[in-house]
Amino acid sequence: MLWFCYNITDLLQNIGEPVLYERKDAKFLLRFLRARKFNLERAIQLYSNYYKYRRKFRHLLMPFHPRHVNNVLESGIFGVLKGTMKNKSRVLCVIPQRWDYLTIHPNEPYKTFIMILEKLVEDEEVQVHGISILDNMEDMSWHLAYAFVCSEQLQKGGLVELQDSFPIRFKGFHMLNQPWYLSMIMRVVRPFLSQKHRDRIQAHGDNYSALHEYMDVVELPSNFGGEGSSLESDNLKKFFEEELFEYESLSSRTVSISSGRE
């Protein structure tokens, strides 16, 4: 691990656009190596992209702390399960119909999503096994989909670029009750996804039992076709409150990076 730390500055200069204000401690750098299966060149590129992404989308991400997205935390749009998929990946649930797009700006769910990833990737098990996303689109309106498609983070590539700019492995994306017009949205997004990520998108329609192949039914929330407790709207707020001290440190680090201060 030390050889990676010692040589990182020289290697960054070799890719032609050095990253400033980078964090170089071994614990942080290790997640980039794991995300790229210890391929040094690819890990360096991911490390560089991570900071470029935050500079490019700083206006969407700042201020970066859960207290600034409290309306999203209380809405129940997102939830993080304590259990894992059968492939050992952690599970992020999404219930888009809980998003009141008239009162919650599209930047807020996007920012919250990045915060969730930052918190999850602190866990070494997540660094190794990645995450899977379960998206139950039941009762998702066309107006909601339109607000998402027209959002700045989709129009300017914020969500698509994330696949090459964040040190986490996306192991699966499972959609339930996807509406007929989703195919139009996917035509916009799919060409920008890597083939690996395209292959990991699964559309199950109203076949909830299809998820049982990927996750034990007792671990799966009842509103995702499982026997577990329903995913309540306060799930995400509890997720952040449990480790608030660690997140305070993360927030301070991210603000420093984004504002260009060492």
Which pLDDT band, with edges at 50, 70 and 90, does 67 fall under? confident
Predicted confidence (pLDDT) at residue 259 exceeds the cutoff of 50: no
Give the per-residue pLDDT at 215.
95
Average pLDDT, the chain: 83
Q: Is there a common fold for 2-56 and 68-241?
A: no
Domain boundaries, the chain: 2-56, 68-241
Q: What's the CATH architecture for 68-241?
A: 3-Layer(aba) Sandwich (3.40)
Phi then psi for residue 185, to 5 deg, are -65, -40
**Counting Cβ atoms within 10 Å, is residue 191 exposed (0-12), middle (13-18) or buried (19+)?**
exposed
**Counting Cβ atoms within 10 Å, is residue 3 exposed (0-12), middle (13-18) or buried (19+)?**
exposed
Quick one: what percent of the chain has pLDDT higher than 90? Answer: 45
pTM for the full predicted model: 0.86
Average pLDDT on 177-193 reads 83
CATH 2.60.120 given to domain 2-56: no
Strands 131-136 and 201-203: unpaired
